[in-house]
Amino acid sequence: MSYAVAGLALLAAITLANALLTVAVVKRWRAAVAAPAKARAAAPPGEPALAVQEGDHTPQFTLHTPQGEFSDATLAGHPALLCFLRPDCGPTRESLPAVQRWAEANAPAGARVVAVVNGAPDAAGPLLEAVAPFTELTTVEAPNGPLAQTFGVRHHPSFVLLDADGTVTETGIGNGSLTALDLTTV
């Protein structure tokens, strides 16, 4: 009989240890499942979007370019294409010919291209050289810099097309995302 009691006590101890381990595993599993859900809740659902949308008026901003200070008021009366580019981004490079075609087609009407390079200044040189033929309005700012934050840029390339009165007529994220670049003119 003492063997039976000892066997039952051992079985009870093993069962208790198993239950404790199961509770610990379930707690860790729930924490792992909840962590990505919290991260997803912080990010907006759906496709990436900019902070400005069609119909919005251009937010106030100031750029520091090699030619001096430049602001949203400087664009008043001219259509403009704001391009947020990144030096190490393949789609940025692929989008440049379309941006150049847009600039060449719309320059006679006074349109301007503003190139904002988000990245380290020492890496921006080749990209600045690539955009130089079609815009003199360039600036380099750190990733997630003030202008990128103003327009809600998190992906590159991103584009904001403005009409002459400063109203956003189109936005796009990624190469080929802006129909105005395919249509060439505003």
For every residue of the chain, DSSP letters joined together read -HHHHHHHHHHHHHHHHHHHHHHHHHHHHHHHHHHHHHHHHHSPSSS---S--TTPBPPP-EEEETTEEEEGGGGTTS-EEEEEE-TT-HHHHHHHHHHHHHHHHHGGGT-EEEEEEES-HHHHHHHHHHHGGG-SEEEEE-TT-HHHHHHT--SSSEEEEE-TTSBEEEEEESTT--HHHHH---
Average pLDDT of the chain? 83
Q: Is pLDDT of 44 > 70?
A: no
The confidence band for 42, taking pLDDT boundaries of 50, 70 and 90, is very low
Residue 25 has pLDDT above 70, yes or no: yes
More confident residue, 178 or 147: 147
* For residues 50-74, average pLDDT: 85
The predicted structure's pLDDT at residue 40:
38
The model's pTM = 0.71
pLDDT tens figures, 99-119? 999 999 998 889 999 999 998
pLDDT of residue 39: 42
Question: Does the structure show a pLDDT above 90 at 82?
Answer: yes
Q: What is the pLDDT of residue 157?
A: 92
The reported pLDDT for the residue numbered 160 is: 93
Residue 169 scores a pLDDT above 90: yes
For 85-103, write each residue's pLDDT tens digit. Answer: 999 988 999 999 999 999 9
Q: Which of 21-35, 78-92, 121-135, 168-182 has the lowest mean pLDDT?
A: 21-35
